[in-house]
Amino acid sequence: MFPDLARDDVFRLETRRLWLRWPQASDARALAALAGDWEVARLTANIPHPYTLEDAAQFIRDSRIGNGLGRHMRLAMTLKSEALAPIGMVSVHPSPEGPSLGYWLGRAYWGQGFAAEAAAALIDACFLVTQASALTAASMPENVASQAVLRSVGFKPAGEAPAPGRHAGGKALMFALDRESWARAA
């Protein structure tokens, strides 16, 4: 999905307040602490709870392998103003509906616009360096903050689908952003 240009861990995206970079082994403690918070994990499909240091280390290894093979792009969100410790993750990954955007933030960073800032940068990169015709995203119905992020970066409601992971048996709200709509807004 992602070309050679993004398949090296020197690949970074810069926003006004963030660096988005490949996760590193040294991020495991911070990611385990952030994702280990039930309030963070509960509305995601795939972050296990409890989330251990070993879970974080395995996630980092899987992310680096998949990034290197171009299967997906998983990037750690880091504040420029701090020591580049991760505050969350943003990704574009394959799904049955096509490339899908996902993200999560540590609770201390909620409500400050970081998710939208990171998502917008990765959306731009995805449409600029891949042939993707559209991106999808899913949100749990009760996660109104995530839905607001998706709308703010151009996604439109696209129906419902069976919820994945821990929410199996429920429904997820689907969102979509096509290349033409993205280009018009840019």
CA atoms within 13 A on the CB side of 43: 19
Task: List all residues 6 or more positions away from 10 whose beta carbon is below 8 Å from its beta carbon.
Answer: none
Q: Which residues pair with 92 in a beta bridge?
A: 73, 101
Structure tokens at 42: 């509960």
**What pLDDT score does 49 carry?**
95
* CATH hierarchy code of domain 4-132: 3.40.630.30
Per-residue pLDDT at 84: 84
Joined tokens for residue 11 = 């690949």
Contact (CB, 8 A) for 91 and 47: no
pLDDT at residue 183, as a whole number: 96
Residue 24: the pLDDT is 96
Beta partners for 90? Answer: 75, 103
Measured between alpha carbons, how far is 182 from 177 in angstroms, rounded to an integer? 7
Task: Give dist(CA 44, CA 166) in Å, integer.
Answer: 8
State the DSSP code for 40. Answer: H
pLDDT attached to residue 149:
98
Low-confidence ranges of the chain (pLDDT < 50): none
The pLDDT value given to residue 13? 96
Q: How confident is the model at residue 156, as a pLDDT? A: 98
pTM exceeds cut of 0.75:
yes
